[in-house]
Amino acid sequence: MGNLANEFVSDMKLKQRVEIIEGNMYMQARPSPAHGDVVRNITLLFGNYLKGKPCKVYNDVKVEFDSNNRVVPDVFVLCDRSKIKTGQVEGAPDLVIEVLSRSTSARDRNEKKHMYEKFGVKEFWVVDVANRTIDVFVHNGKQFTNGGVFSVIPDWEIEDLDESIRSKLVYEFSPSMFNDLVIKLDDVFYDLPEGI
């Protein structure tokens, strides 16, 4: 086992989340309660929708793309269950969702996004808990394209908006691969602790 692999195993014994992106090792911070709440809410939304279907939702499971790229996405949907191996998934999930933390925000938006794009993840979401937004990226076979930015706007801000703008606000959307699943932003950001 090489040095990087030894460090990976050693850190896993300490129960730390360690990720390797393009051969660089990163320690993951412990998630905040709000982060955990959003991960739970998203997992429940997909879990209920996927019941009885071939795809399945996972969280806190290691995904290995190759020996230089091993991550633990916050939430992902996998439709090809032959990719499930002992203790991990090998290969690209169909949809990956990263919930931002202060310490991982830049990496999720850059290195991880590029890695998911490179390995052909069909859809990638970046969920910003503090700003109540979801950025959606859809793979077109070559690269990610912008699938939309969805945001919860506080009531006090909506009151100040012109009616023509208010009528265009979108509070729900559907994943590109599950167009009969309606994701309501209020459900994603439901019951979060105050002061996040």
User: From CA 134, how far away is CA 111, in angstroms rounded?
Assistant: 18
Q: What digits encode the pLDDT tens for the residues 67-82? A: 999 999 999 999 999 9
C-alpha closest to that of 97 among 128, 66, 69: 128
For residues 126 and 109, is the Cβ–Cβ distance under 8 A? Answer: yes
What domains lie within the chain, and their CATH numbers?
30-188 (3.90.1570.10)
DSSP-derived secondary structure letter, 49: H
Q: Structure tokens of 130?
A: 């503090």
User: From CA 74, how far away is CA 128, in angstroms rounded?
Assistant: 13
Q: What digits encode the pLDDT tens for the residues 86-120? A: 889 999 999 999 999 988 899 999 999 999 999 99
What residues form DSSP beta bridges with 172? 184
What residues form DSSP beta bridges with 98? 126
User: From CA 76, how far away is CA 96, in angstroms rounded?
Assistant: 4
Q: Is the pTM of this model over 0.75?
A: yes
DSSP-derived secondary structure letter, 110: I
